[in-house]
Chains A and B, each alone.
Chain A
Amino acid sequence: MRLFVRRLFASQEIGLVLVLVLVTVTLTTLAGSHPDRQTGETVNNFWNSYTLIQTATDASFFAVMAIGATIVIISGGIDLSVGSIYALSGVAMALFLRATGEMSPVATTLTGLFVCVGVGLACGLINGALVVGLRVHPFIITLGTMWVLRGIAFVATKAESILVPAPLTAVTKASLGLGGGLYPVPMLTMLALTVLGAIYLTRTTMGRRIFAFGGNLEASRFAGLSLSRIQIGVFAVSGLTAGLAAFLGAGFYGSVSSGDAQGYELYVIASAVVGGASLLGGKGSALGAMLGALLIVLIRQSIRTLHFDQNYEWIVIGCAIIIAVVVDQWSTRLTARRLSQLAQRAPAA
C-alpha cells in the first residue's frame, strides 16, 4: 500500500490532478446554488451532474486531439493542421453519408466512423510524408496543410452547413442510462483514448522510440531507429485522433461545416503544453494532455461559474498559459543552475 501511494505521488501527473481537485473544490464552494427546474431541489451551480459532464464533454473534443498532438510534440514536431483535419474529416463524412443515402443505423454509424477516422488518418499520413519527403520543418508543412485542408472542405461543402444523420447523434448523445440531458459518450471516449495513448507511449516499442527520437535525434539515428517511419507515424496518429474528435463533434452537435474547429489547434497545443509536454520534444504524456485540456476548459468554466465578464475570456486563458509556462521554464533554469553550482562545490569539499 505504501509503495502504491509512493508511486502515485511520484507520477508525473499527480500535481495536475491535485490542482484540478483544488479548482473543483474552489468552484464548488464559490458557485452558489439554484433550485432544480424539475425536482425543485437546491443544487450547486458547479457541483451537479449536468455541469460536470458538460465540462468534461467540452474538454473531450480538445483532449482527444491533444493526445495525438502530444505524441507529435514528444517527437519534437508540431501539428498546426489538427483543426482543419477535424473540419475536413467531418465534412467528408457528412458528404459521403449524404451520397450513400439511407442505411441501417448501425451501418450509418460504422460507415461514418470509418470515413471520419480514415480521412483524418490519410491527412496525417500526408503531413508526415511531406515532412519526411520534403525535409521541411513540421511547423511550415502543417501551416500549409492547415489552409489547404480547410480550403478543400470549403470547396466541397460550397459553404453549406450539412446536417449529419440522426443515428450518429443517437450514438454520441446516448445517455447510457444516466437520464435525459446527460450525455457521457464523448467523456468516456476521451478517458478510453487516454488509457490507449498512455499504453501506446509507455508500453510499446514504438512509443519508446518516439520519446527517444524527440529526446535526442542524433542518438536515435546512431541507434539505428527508422526516423522516417517514426515521423510519419506520429503525424498519422495525430490525424487519426483529429478524425475521431470530428466524429464525436459532428454527431454531438448534429452538423458540420468547413468553418468547424477554426483556431482549435491553439487550444490543442495549449492543452499539451499545460499538460507537461515540452515543445523541444522528448517529454509529455497522454494523461497530461487530457488533464491539460480539462484544466483549460475549467479555467473557461470558472469565468462563467464565478460570474465574471465573458469579454475577459481570451485575456484570462492567454495570460494563464503564457505566465505558467514562462515561469516554469525560468524555474527549471534556476534549478539547473543550482545543481550545477552544487556539482562545482562537491570536489572542493
Chain B
Amino acid sequence: MVRMTRRAALAITVGLAITACGGGGEGAADSRTAAQPATPGAAGPAGAKYTIAVIAKSSNNPVFQAARTGAEAAAKELSAKHGIDVQIAWLTPPTEDGQIQAQRIQQAVNDGASAILISCSDAGKVTGAINDAVARGVPVMTFDSDAPQSQRFAYYGVDDIKTGNAVMAELATLMGGKGKIGILAGNQNAPNLQKRVQGVKEEAAKSPGIQIVGTFNHVETPQDAAAEVTRVGNAYPDIQGWAMIGGWALFTQSLLTDLDPNRVKIASVDALPAQLAYVDKGIAPVLLAQPVYQWGHVGVTTVIDKIHFKKDVPTIIPMELVKVTKANLGEWARQLKEWGFNDVPEAYLKL
C-alpha cells in the first residue's frame, strides 16, 4: 500500500509542480466566464466576458501557432474597441488526433466556454462532439479543415480542390506544360489534403504534357517530408517538378542544396519564413500562401460578430490564397513579421 501511495503521490505532485512551473501564461483560459445571454438581434452588454476555445489540429505545426497569435490579437483588439473582455483558451492537442479534439470540445463546454473555434483533424470524429456542444448552447465555428455535416455555424478557409488546382496550374506554367512531376501529399488520412491532391490531378489532366509519377505521403514533419523528396528524386531521376500541397519539405534547408533550380521546379502551398529562401533561389518560384494568421483573427472576429453583435454571418467564408513570388517577397516577409513570426530572415525584410 505504501509503495502504491508513494508512486501515485509522486506522479501527481510532480505533475502539478510542473504545470505550476509551466505557468498560466498566454492563452490560459479564464473559464470562470461564460457567454452572456442576450436578446436576439441586439448586441451583448458592454463589459460582457467571452471565452473562445481555440482547438487547432496540432501545436507542433507552426501555422497553427500563427493562428493562435491571430486569435489572441483579435481578442485584444475587439476587447479594446468594443469594451468587452474576450479571452482565448488554447486547447490544441500536441499532435493531430480527432478523438482528443472531440474530448477537448467537451471540456471547453464543461468549462463554460462561450464559443469554440476548431480546425478538424477528422471531421467524422468531431461531428458528434460539435453537435453536442451546439445542443448545450455553445456555438462552434470551423477553420482550415471543416466538418460540413456538423451544426457549426460557419467555416473559414480555402477551397481545397481549388487550392490543388492553383498549385498545379502554377507548376504547369513554370514547366512550360510538360514534364514528370510528383505530388507531395502529407498525411494520407487528412480529408482536406486528399481534396488538394484531387485538385492537383484534375488540373494536371488539362495539360497532356504533364505526367504524374506518383502521390507521395509522409509523416507531416519537415525532416520526413524533405527525406521523401530526396528518396523520390533518387528513384525517379527524371522528375522535373513537385506539386507540394503543404509546405513541410520547404521548412528545412536541405533541399536548397539538394535540388537544382535549373532542373526541378516546385509550386507549393504555404509561405512561411523558412520557405522564403526557396523563392529567392528560384527552386520554388511560386508559393501559394494561406494567410494562416487570419484563421485565428477572422475566426475570433466572426465568433464575436455572431455571439456579441448577433449578426448573421455567412456559412462559408472563403479564404483567398496569396501568391508569393520574388516580386513581392519583401512585402510578404514584412507581413509575416507583423503577424508575429520571429524567424523572418532580415535580408528579406529589407527588400
Binding site for B on A (CB under 8 A): 9-16, 18-20, 22-23, 26, 32-35, 37-38, 45, 48, 50-51, 54, 58, 61, 154, 159, 161-163, 169, 173, 180-181, 249, 252-263, 274, 276, 288, 291, 295, 298-299, 301-317, 319-321, 323-325, 327-328, 331-332
Contact = CB atoms under 8 A, between A and B. Distances in A.
Contacts of A261: 99
B188 A154 contact: yes
A274 B11 contact: yes
Interface stretch (B104-112, B236-244, B253-261, B330-338): B104-112
Contacts of A327: 6, 10
Contact of A162 (B2, B109, B124): B124
Contacts of A256: 124
B125 A276 contact: no
Contact of A309 (B5, B22, B125): B22
19 contacts: A9-B1, A10-B1, A15-B1, A34-B32, A37-B136, A161-B125, A161-B189, A253-B98, A253-B102, A255-B127, A258-B189, A259-B122, A295-B8, A308-B20, A317-B15, A320-B14, A327-B10, A331-B6, A332-B3
B174 to A, nearest CB: 29
Contacts of A12: 1, 4
Nearest to A22: B12
B151 to A, nearest CB: 14
B26 interface: yes
Interface in B71-116: 89-99, 102-103, 106-107, 109-112
B34 interface: yes
A331 B34 CA distance: 47
B197 to A, nearest CB: 10
Contact of A169 (B107, B110, B128, B194): B128
A54 B24 CA distance: 23
Contacts of A301: 107
Interface in B178-235: 187-189, 191, 194, 217
A14 B128 CA distance: 37
B112 to A, nearest CB: 3
A33 B6 CA distance: 31
Contact of A325 (B7, B26, B128, B136): B7
A12 B99 CA distance: 32
B46 to A, nearest CB: 19
A308 B28 contact: yes
A289 to B, nearest CB: 12
B24 A306 contact: yes
B29 interface: yes
B31 to A, nearest CB: 6
B125 A32 contact: no
Contacts of B132: 181
Nearest to A27: B16
A38 B132 CA distance: 14
A309 B59 CA distance: 11
Contacts of B118: none
B124 A163 contact: yes
Given A51-B110, A161-B123, A295-B12, A34 B22 contact: no
A152 to B, nearest CB: 14
A18 B4 CA distance: 10
A211 to B, nearest CB: 17
A50 B109 contact: yes
Contacts of B177: none
A37 B1 contact: no
Given A159-B189, A161-B123, A308-B24, A302 B19 contact: yes
Contacts of B127: 254-255
A15 B9 contact: yes
A175 B47 CA distance: 37
B110 A48 contact: yes
A309 B12 CA distance: 17
A14 B1 contact: yes
B168 interface: no
A260 B99 contact: yes
Contacts of A295: 8, 11-12
A279 B111 CA distance: 37
Nearest to B35: A37
A15 B20 CA distance: 24
A299 B17 CA distance: 11
A327 B264 CA distance: 55
9 shortest A-B CB distances, which residue pairs? A15-B5, A255-B124, A34-B112, A312-B22, A320-B15, A324-B10, A19-B8, A324-B11, A159-B188
Given A15-B8, A50-B110, A169-B128, 13 more contacts: A11-B1, A34-B31, A35-B112, A159-B217, A161-B122, A161-B191, A253-B126, A260-B99, A309-B24, A309-B28, A312-B19, A312-B22, A319-B18
Most buried by A among B97, B111, B187: B111
B347 interface: no
A332 B8 CA distance: 15
A320 B110 contact: no
Contacts of B217: 159
B282 interface: no
A207 to B, nearest CB: 19
Contacts of A180: 135-136
A310 to B, nearest CB: 5
B125 A319 contact: no
Given A310-B27, A321-B11, A253 B59 contact: no
Contacts of A331: 3, 6
Contacts of B194: 159
Contact of B12 (A23, A45, A159, A328): A23
A45 B111 contact: yes
Given A10-B1, A16-B4, A45-B32, A299 B15 contact: yes
A48 B136 CA distance: 15
Contact of A181 (B9, B89, B99, B135): B135
- Identify which of A256, A295, A310, A331 gathers the most chain B CB atoms within 10 Å of its CB: A310
Nearest to A326: B10
B189 A15 contact: no
B287 interface: no
B137 interface: yes
Nearest to A183: B132
